[in-house]
Amino acid sequence: MRENIIFTDLAKELQAKAREIADKHVRPGAKKYDDLQEYNWEAARAVAEAGLFRTFIPKEYGGHGAGILALAMVTEELAKADSGFGVAFAVNALGSFPIILGGTEEQKQRWLPSVARGEKLVAFCLSEKFAGSDASGLAVTAEEDGDHYVIRGEKKWTTNGGVADIYSVFCVTDPTSKSRRISAIVVEKGTPGFTVKKVEDKMGIRCVPVVETHFDNVRVPKANLIGGKPGMGFKHAMMTLDLARPGVAAQAVGAAQGALDLALVYANRRQQFGAPISSFQMVQKMLADMAMKTEAARWLVYACAGAVDQGAAEKVSKYAAMAKCFATDVAMEVATEAVQVFGGYGFMEDYPIAKFFRDAKILQIYEGTNQVQRMVIARHLIREANELEHLAAYIPNEVQNTYRDGALITHSRKSEPAQR
């Protein structure tokens, strides 16, 4: 993946703008909006004015078309200041990707320019109470009724719900089909019957709303069916998650770096036994491990995002799972160690490190739990074992297992006759 990292001038420019906004508009209000559980509209307006929502929108629809690596770099800077706002920014890409990847030309022209300008925020409605990791097990339905679909049911954990104007909603349009069961439909805020119900009281990322979205006989024109063809929703969802997971991983890198930065400043200032605790070897080891793992996560994320930009389609799913899993595990570990560096103060909400700890946990869960990511990675590795078949000659086992086209084939060796 390493050769695919191309840092364009545009990506660097967008990253610098994101860093400036993070310092001026995001970090100063992080505690306030976390305490209030309110959206940081000031920062969102600054992001829009700086053109950062254009990062992930193609040029022909008013965006920069800067690519996934640029999106990761921008997201990292915002999340470093406030993990919650990093989510609030990146979820707009998540909600837009189904339209970008599968939408008709008319749909792209209709919705994407307003997203690029920051005039409309976007949400992604996939998860349900009984369909989280099992994205194929959806229960929300969309039935045809003339020139409309009628959507019924409820979605769970809709990030950006309530503040978003555009919702990419995944529904069952053909319950009799296995491969073409699900479709994606755009529902706009204010559509009759579409309501936000429960607003979740969360452990972390409290500045971005996560809600239940309810669909009570919501009539939506067939023109809102993403791609104009039913049954493509599951494909669109999986493609979207492959593109969005590097963004989650970038949130994690930002969270890890933000926690590490605070731990470094605190360790240099905190005096014990007549010396700063940064002079103690045990603390130095903690800081060094935190820094190494954060840097490793960063470059895995950049490599993954770069591979996506360079069109490594056959590897994207594995790379995205690796980046998301590793980086978010690192974020949780670094945040935990940072709390330890702060000692008793780290447990107090007066100090910002507690928020980093609370925010980090969700990164290991949403957009595919890390247990699921490891399953995805392992399945790819097993399928790729064909390329390693030449090594079988070096395995002196009585039974050799090989894989062809992902299927396990067992070969038994005949015992050699004993020499007399």
Percent of the chain with pLDDT strictly greater than 90:
86
pLDDT confidence tier of residue 6, bands split at 50, 70 and 90: confident
Total number of domains constituting the chain: 3
226 in any annotated domain: yes
Same domain, 89 and 173: no
Query: Taking the C-alpha atoms of 357, 362, 365 and 371 in order, what is their torsion angle to the nearest 10 degrees?
Result: -10
Same domain, 221 and 255: no
403 in any annotated domain: no
Is a pLDDT exceeding 90 seen at residue 108? yes
Is a pLDDT exceeding 90 seen at residue 396? no
Same domain, 53 and 126: no
Is a pLDDT exceeding 60 seen at residue 354? yes
Same domain, 371 and 240: yes
Contact of 126 with 135, CB cutoff 8 Å: yes
Percent of the chain with pLDDT strictly greater than 70:
93
Same domain, 334 and 269: yes
Same domain, 286 and 366: yes
Alpha-helical runs (H) found in 175-312: 233-269, 281-309
* CATH code for position 47: 1.10.540.10
414 in any annotated domain: no
406 in any annotated domain: no
Same domain, 239 and 377: yes
408 in any annotated domain: no
Residue where a domain terminates, one of 230, 249, 272: 230
12 in any annotated domain: yes
Same domain, 350 and 321: yes
Is a pLDDT exceeding 90 seen at residue 27? yes
Q: How far is 385 from 403, CA to CA, in rounded Å?
A: 6
Q: What is the mean pLDDT of residues 191-200?
A: 97
Same domain, 293 and 260: yes
Domain that holds residue 242: 235-381
Q: How far is 173 from 185, CA to CA, in rounded Å?
A: 10
Q: How far is 347 from 344, CA to CA, in rounded Å?
A: 5
pLDDT confidence tier of residue 394, bands split at 50, 70 and 90: confident
Is a pLDDT exceeding 70 seen at residue 215? yes
Output the CA–CA distances (angstroms, integers) from residue 97 to 89, 187, 336, in the order listed: 14, 15, 33
105 among known catalytic residues: no
Q: What was the pLDDT predicted at 405?
A: 60
Same domain, 112 and 133: no
Residue where a domain terminates, one of 77, 98, 116: 116
Output the CA–CA distances (angstroms, integers) from residue 385 to 106, 110, 407, 409, in the order listed: 43, 45, 10, 12
Output the CA–CA distances (angstroms, integers) from residue 48 to 8, 52, 117, 122, 350, in the order listed: 21, 6, 6, 13, 31
* CATH code for position 185: 2.40.110.10
Q: What was the pLDDT predicted at 415?
A: 47
What is the tens place of the pLDDT at every residue in 134-176?
877 899 999 999 999 999 999 999 999 999 999 999 999 999 9
Q: Which of 367, 387, 398, 416 is catalytic?
A: 367
Pairing state between β 166-172 and 399-404:
unpaired
> What tokens appear for 337 in the block?
């160690």
- Contact partners, residue 198, CB within 8 Å, separation at least 6: 211, 212
Q: How far is 96 from 99, CA to CA, in rounded Å?
A: 5
409 in any annotated domain: no
377 in any annotated domain: yes
* CATH code for position 250: 1.20.140.10
Q: What was the pLDDT predicted at 242?
A: 93
Identify the DSSP state of 232. -
Q: Which has more confidence, 389 or 332? A: 332
Same domain, 290 and 246: yes
Give the residue carrying structure tokens 């492959």. Answer: 242
86-95, 333-342, 390-399: lowest mean pLDDT where?
Answer: 390-399
Residue where a domain terminates, one of 88, 116, 144: 116
> What tokens appear for 301 in the block?
């994320």
pLDDT confidence tier of residue 395, bands split at 50, 70 and 90: confident
Same domain, 322 and 338: yes
Mean pLDDT of the chain: 93
Contact of 4 with 306, CB cutoff 8 Å: yes
